Structure 1
């Protein structure tokens, strides 16, 4: 991994590790803001799996733990592509719950929340780039196509070899019939 990639991943993941840690330790400060979103998500989670906790503070803690874990994975380069996608997924509820500028009547608060939404969109874009970054190595699509091409060539070679051997066997059999015996 190049130094630029390492530095960029560490810088991108920093906000998730720090804010995830803070929010994990103190979820009650976010609970009133997150409550409207968690109330809408709770029934879906209950349908998906009845044992998933649906109280607001626990959901904040879960999201925070995921952010810390995936942020550290991104920063260290371990499973960085899936970690970037997971972090992008955690941004969606955070942005909707934390910065609903569409509900603000105060122009200053509305502007402040719009700036935060744009910042989160920028982070989302950076995470998508990190998720697509193969680190200079061929991506899965190329490797799959290359493997398929290699397999096709191998099959063609095997078919040509089998035809050649069949022709040789036919010639040998016809020569063997002609010889007195």
Structure 2
């Protein structure tokens, strides 16, 4: 792991760990803001329609995934989980378009844009392969290797069949010569 990754991952994860712990400890204030989003997505996704429970679950996901990202354990998956938890959090918590007071609206817009920036960092972490080939490259490579091996196998089989036919003709010719 490079020095940049070793430093940047915990820096990125710190906000989620802190926010997740706060959501676990004090879900009531966040549940009030989350209620409209939870009510809208609970039934279609088969989730319980309990805003406080959903806030706690989101907080637990952020603490777990943030810790994994900070430690460099399954960082791509951890970043994906954090990105997934950040979208509803941002939509519910920083809906600046619903705020009437200009100062409060500006503050919520700033938090919204900050979260969009965090989402961008998480998406970069999701696709960061740390210099190793990604899954799509490995899948394409495996397919190419399989096609090459199949082609080689067919070529070798044709070669072996030709050699066997030659051998059979030669043996038949010898047998014919021995009889005559």
In the superposition, the TM-score normalised over structure 2's length comes to 0.93
Deviation at 1:92, TM superposition (A): 1.2
The alignment status of 1:137 with 2:141, answered yes or no, reads: no
Q: Structure 2: any 5+ residue segments left out of the alignment? A: none
Count of equivalent residues:
176
Q: Secondary structure at the match of 2:129?
A: coil
Q: Corresponding residue for 2:99?
A: 104
Spell out the pairing of 1:165-176 with structure 2 (5 A cutoff). 165-176=160-171
Q: Distance in 2 between matches of 1:152 and 1:38?
A: 48
Q: Corresponding residue for 1:23?
A: 23
Q: Distance in 2 between matches of 1:4 and 1:57?
A: 37
Q: Corresponding residue for 1:122?
A: 117
Spell out the pairing of 1:18-167 with structure 2 (5 A cutoff). 18-45=18-45, 48=46, 52-167=47-162
Q: Can you list the C-alpha shifts for 1:130-178, whole angstroms capped at 9, x where unaligned?
A: 0000011011121111111111111111111111111111011101111
Deviation at 1:41, TM superposition (A): 2.3
Two-structure CA RMSD over aligned residues (Å): 1.2
Q: Structure 1: any 5+ residue segments left out of the alignment? A: none
Deviation at 1:53, TM superposition (A): 3.0
Q: Distance in 1 between matches of 2:166 and 2:31?
A: 85
Structure 1 runs of 4+ with >2 Å offset:
41-45
